[in-house]
Every structure is written in C-alpha cells, then in structure tokens.
C-alpha cells in the first residue's frame, strides 16, 4: 500500500519559498496527493516543525479530506471548514488553518514536515482540534502515511 504527497514548488528537502512563510504572504501551498488506498475513507494532514526551541511546533492541522481528493489548493482560507468541506484545527500560533514557517532569526534552517495520513474512517472530533487531539482520534485508523519535508531559515 502506497500513498504519495508532493508540495507544489517544494522538492522534498528543498527550501520553502518565502511566499509560504511569515516573511512573505503566508499562504498555504498546493498539495498533490497520489496513490490513495481504495480502503481509505478520509485523509488528514499535519504540518509541523520539530526543530522549534519549544519542541514540535504545529503549523497546520486538516482532516476529513475526502479519499477521492487528488489536490489541496493553495491559499486555503483560515477557517474551521474550507470551501471544499475539509476541516481544520488550530495551529500553535493559536489560529485556524495554515500559518507558514517563521523560525527565530539566527537559528539556521528548520525542517517542516507535511505528513499525510490515509484513514479507515472519517473522524468525529468535538470541540477545538489540535495536533494532539487529531493524533489521538486517528489511533487505530491509519492505513498508511506519507510525508514531504521543506526547510526554511530567517
């Protein structure tokens, strides 16, 4: 079983364009999704920085993405529910949706992982959704996952 994620404009391990960061327009990238397993009932996405001084810093939480979705468009609105019906949780900036890389100046490159999960069912999570609550809700439901990583420094 395979699942593939590609971040448009960011080759795996390459530098993230400024427009996708707090130093630019801070909009979400287009994400291409391939090879979704037939058994998948939904997808979930987490973008996080494990190199932050405070530990893992979450930049984007999205879930209940339909299993037939091959692309998440760029510039997704910062709302609990997108135009397409995908649900978004809070990031560690305290906002809904995407907030791009914004590492402390002088800290060198940070890595930003986009992790995509194919799930055996849609998720029914009540209240405010964070990375930790999403991971808990996904326990025992992950069929396969894929990831891509970009880097950024200020």
Q: What is the pLDDT of residues 104-118, one digit of tens each?
A: 999 899 999 999 999
Length of the chain: 154
pLDDT at position 127, please? 87
Model-level pTM?
Answer: 0.96
CATH class of the domain at 4-152: alpha beta
Burial of 87-107, coded b for 16+ CB within 10 Å and e otherwise, reads: bbbbbbeeebbbbbbbbeeee
What is each CA distance from 9 to 13, 19, 55, 59, 149, in whole angstroms? 12, 11, 27, 18, 12
Instruction: Yes or no: say if 41 and 119 are a contact pair by the CB < 8 Å rule.
Output: yes
Rounded Cα–Cα distance for residues 19 and 8 (Å): 13
pLDDT at position 1, please? 65
Low-confidence ranges of the chain (pLDDT < 70): 1
pLDDT at position 2, please? 87
């Amino acid at each position: 079983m395979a699942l593939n994620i590609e971040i448009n404009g960011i080759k795996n391990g390459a530098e993230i364009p400024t427009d996708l960061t707090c130093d630019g327009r801070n909009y979400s990238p287009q994400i291409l999704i391939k090879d979704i397993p037939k058994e998948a009932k939904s997808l979930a996405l987490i973008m996080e920085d494990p190199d932050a001084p405070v530990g893992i810093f979450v930049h984007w939480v999205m879930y209940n993405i339909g299993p037939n979705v091959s692309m998440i468009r760029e510039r997704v609105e910062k709302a609990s529910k997108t135009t397409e019906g995908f649900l978004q949780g809070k990031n560690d900036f305290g906002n809904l949706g995407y907030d791009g890389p914004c590492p402390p100046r002088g800290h060198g490159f940070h890595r930003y992982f986009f992790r995509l999960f194919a799930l055996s069912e849609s998720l029914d999570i009540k209240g405010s959704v964070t990375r930790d609550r999403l991971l808990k809700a996904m326990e025992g439901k992950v069929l396969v996952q894929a990831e891509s990583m970009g880097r950024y420094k200020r």
